[in-house]
Structure 1
Amino acid sequence: MAGRSTDPTGMEPVSSVSAQVTYQEVERAAQEVGLIVMGAQHPRESRAKQLDTGTLILLGTAAEFWPRFIASPEWTDGRSDPVDRWSSRVIGELAADMGAKPYFPFGGPPYTPFIDWALKSGRTYQSPVGALVHDTVGMLISYRGALHFPMEFDLPPVPGSSPCTDCPAPCTTACPVSALNADSFYDVEACHGYLDTQAGQTCMTSGCMARLACPVSEGAGRQPDQTAHHMKAFHPS
């Protein structure tokens, strides 16, 4: 664990690591536990909600996440919410080791404004069907947490344009019941209704057809078992 001292006010922990950390170090540490950096920003510049200083790093699942996760105690203990509990433990440990404060997209209300943070990272956009789309994992986005460092450090440039700009938008026509479409965005009732049918079992095991239709989604390297787990959590039988 990184050495930590106490702020003279006694209000916040201060880490000797946070003043030295680099983006590349955070990226490597994330990769070692099956995560990827899905966005980074200086809240002072991006005007991210709830934050106005330091450096914010958004973390999501890598292709290597699932094999690591199913070997974890959170998966094998049979208790509920294994992915959230894994995220809390692993990202909490990263935060402690690197002198950051962890945030998570679950556990509310109140909820952390991850959608705002994602959109202001310069790497996530709104797709033609309303769902978020990321520059490397497409519509198979799975934010697991974020690290907020008290100091600003250098960040790599971002692409600057949405992957949807020159895309023929197959996501707008892929859903069998048009639950995700370009006109009304997401029809939740139609989606859940279809998943209750025999035909809908393909979505339950393979994943949302609209999200899979996104060409960039291939970059997620998502394994079928992981997709099935997320679908079951979204639509319990």
Structure 2
Amino acid sequence: MILARGMIEEITAALAADGLILRGGFVFPDVENAPDGAAARSVLLVGQAGAAPWPHFMRWRAQQPQTIANPLDTWSRQVIGNVAEAFGARAVSPSDKPYLPFQQWAVRAEGLKPSPLGILMHPRYGLWHAYRGALLFEDEIAVPEQAETIHLCDSCVDKPCLKSCPVDAYSRAGFAYQACLAHVRGANGEPCRSGGCLDRNACPYGTEYRYPPEIQAFHMASFARAAS
């Protein structure tokens, strides 16, 4: 059975109630398995553009124990799980183990390519977007074929995203993870802790979707706390 596009419109509306959006989808060439071993024929990716989910997340968080280790993941699982249950899908998360190839799925679903920071560059949202989960279906889904996407990094000559970090955490050689972590945790890491990654903020694309400082600080605190 092929799921009709009308169902996709209904799923889109259900996700929008919590500030989330569909990020494309496709049919697997062969049946694939989720971490629980269950088979899937197709996938719809769920994520965000800019800060749209934040008010919904914060209202939920205010009603939860403050000891929740990963509140944004927990909220995302709950919201996407509810939508999955309503539409006969299974919800999976980027943090599920063994890890699912979310970045590969995103490349296929939206035709995106990585920026020099490793974050996929979106032609509209720039670096200010994320994938929060996916809906797996046992049936095929009817989604429009993905049009060719312009990769903005190809025309960016100056590459300010590689010049703004005080410890050169990002370079053409890759991500200097330990240098970044030590800086964020250290005495001179306040600009990053309170306002987010300087390299990411230096990107000139999608600035209207840039996360506000409090959201960037939330993610930076999570990075500093969880990383080792």
Coarse TM-score class (shorter-chain normalised): 0.7 to 0.9
Measure the CA separation in 2 of the matches of 1:73 and 1:193: 29
- SS at 1:72's partner residue? helix
Is residue 49–residue 117 contact of structure 1 (8 Å, CA) maintained in 2?
no
- Structure 2, gaps ≥5 residues long: none
Distance 2:208 2:144 in 1: 22
Partner of 2:107: 119
Query: What are structure 1's unaligned runs of at least 5 residues?
Result: 1-15
Q: What are the Cα deviations for residues 208-237 of structure 1, in whole angstroms up to 9, with x where unaligned? A: 111222223425342222211111110029
Alignment of 1:162-201 (within 5 A): 162-168=151-157, 169-182=159-172, 184-201=173-190
- Structure 1 residue 32, shift from structure 2 partner: 1.7
Q: Helix, strand or coil for the counterpart of 1:202? A: helix
Alignment equivalent of 2:19, drawn from 29, 34, 37: 34
Q: Which amino acid aligns with 2:192?
A: C
Q: CA shift at 1:17, angstroms?
A: 11
Amino acid paired to 1:25: E
Partner of 1:59: 46
DSSP-derived class of the 2:24 partner = strand
Identity of matched residues, %: 30
Structure 1 residues 81, 160: CA separation in 2 closer, same or farther (over 3 Å shift)? same
* Letter aligned with residue 203 of structure 1: C
Match of 2:215 among 226, 229, 232: 226
Does the aligned pair in 1 maintain the 2:90–2:135 contact within 8 Å? yes
Question: Residue 69 of structure 1 aligns to which amino acid in structure 2?
Answer: F
Partner Cα distance (1:35, 1:225) in 2: 19
Equivalent residues in 2 for 1:127-146, closer than 5 Å: 127-146=115-134
Assess, with a 3 A threshold, how the Cα gap between structure 1 residues 48 and 217 changes in structure 2: closer, same or farther.
farther
Distance of aligned partners of 1:40 and 1:112 in 2 relative to their CA distance in 1, 3 Å threshold: same
**What letter is aligned with 1:151?**
E
Q: Distance in 2 between matches of 1:19 and 1:131?
A: 32
Higher relative contact order (CA 8 A, sep 6+): 2
Q: Distance in 2 between matches of 1:34 and 1:153?
A: 23
Output the amino acid matched with 2:115: S
Between the aligned partners of 1:210 and 1:225, the Cα distance in structure 2 is 17
Q: Report whether the alignment pairs 1:82 with 2:71.
A: yes
Q: Indicate if the aligned counterparts of 2:193 and 2:217 stay in contact, CA closer than 8 A.
A: yes
Secondary structure (helix, strand or coil) at the match of 2:110 reads coil
Deviations 1:36-75 (A, max 9, x none): 223322323xx79758964422111342211111100576
| In structure 2, distance between residues paired with 1:123 and 1:209 | 26
Calculate the TM-score normalised by the size of structure 2.
0.82
Post-superposition offset of 1:156? 5.5
For 2:45, the aligned partner's letter is: L
Question: Equivalent residue of 1:41, what SS?
Answer: strand
Secondary structure, counterpart of 1:210 in structure 2: helix
Q: Which structure shows the bigger proportion of residues in strand conformation? A: 2
Name the TM-score, length of structure 1 as normaliser. 0.79
Which residue does 1:105 correspond to in 2? Answer: 94
Shift of 1:103: 1.1
In structure 2, the residue corresponding to 1:120 is in which secondary structure?
helix
- How large is the Cα RMSD of the aligned pairs? 2.8
Alignment length, in residue pairs? 218
